[in-house]
Amino acid sequence: SVVGADTDDSVGNYQINQYGFEGAIHYRQPLGLISIDGEAGYSQHNYILAADFPLEVPDTQYSAFHAGVHLDLHVTDHATIGFGGKLFYVLDNGDMSSLDWYGPGSASGFDLDASFVIPLPKKLFVRGELDYRRVTTDFDGAGAITEEETVLSAADATMNGSVNVGIAF
């Protein structure tokens, strides 16, 4: 990912090293025309700014437990349209909660997703996904920047999309 910065001294685009993982236990129950998929899991998502970024911004590493549900509507035998959501109980938000930055606070988040599957000839299919994730932190007021700048909260949001072609076995 790339983020732009415009300061008194420079204007430019800078790299963000964005990576993470998510693991969950799922239970899927078909109910005629719909299927319900419930999950509980753990995730970690990291956002590390380039060393030459001109503004002082803390690296953020969210770790969280989550619970969620996803519903799929079976339009035909092999075509589906789905949507779902997750709630996050944030355990840690990295350098952001350091007293040198914004200080401690409470964080929570959510994730909304939409998907589709379209069958193609010869057992091929196309699957598309769109995902929106937002994590919000409300600060207690004890961090250096929170005290200097009266920063009361921060929010990070990401949107991801993908389209994949696969073979059904």
Chain segment 78-134, per-residue pLDDT in tens:
899 999 999 999 999 888 888 888 888 899 999 999 999 999 999 999 999 999 999
Q: Select the more confidently predicted residue: 164 or 60.
A: 164
pLDDT in tens, 150-160: 888 989 898 99
pLDDT (0 to 100) of residue 136 = 94
3-state secondary structure 88-115: EEEEECHHHHCCCCCCCEEEEEEEEEEE
pLDDT (0 to 100) of residue 40 = 98
Distance of CA 148 to the CA centre of its chain: 29
| The two structure tokens encoding residue 147 | 């005290």
Whether the pLDDT of residue 17 is over 80: the answer is yes
Q: Which residues lie across from 131 on neighbouring strands?
A: 113, 160
Contact 49, 12 (CB under 8 A): no
Percent of the chain with pLDDT over 70: 100
Q: What is the pTM of this model?
A: 0.83
Distance of CA 83 to the CA centre of its chain: 15
Cα 130 to Cα 92, 116, 117, 153, 157: the distances in Å are: 26, 9, 12, 26, 14
Strands annotated E in the chain? 2-6, 11-31, 34-49, 60-74, 80-92, 105-119, 124-139, 153-167
Please provide the average confidence, as pLDDT, over all residues in the chain. Answer: 90
Characterize 105-115 residue by residue with b for buried, 16 or more Cβ atoms within 10 angstroms of its Cβ, and e for exposed: bebebebebeb
| The two structure tokens encoding residue 93 | 């938000």
Cα–Cα nearest to 160, from 19, 3, 25: 19
Percent of the chain with pLDDT over 90: 56
Say how far apart CA 96 and CA 16 lie, in whole Å.
Answer: 16
Cα torsion angle, 26, 111, 152, 48, sign: positive
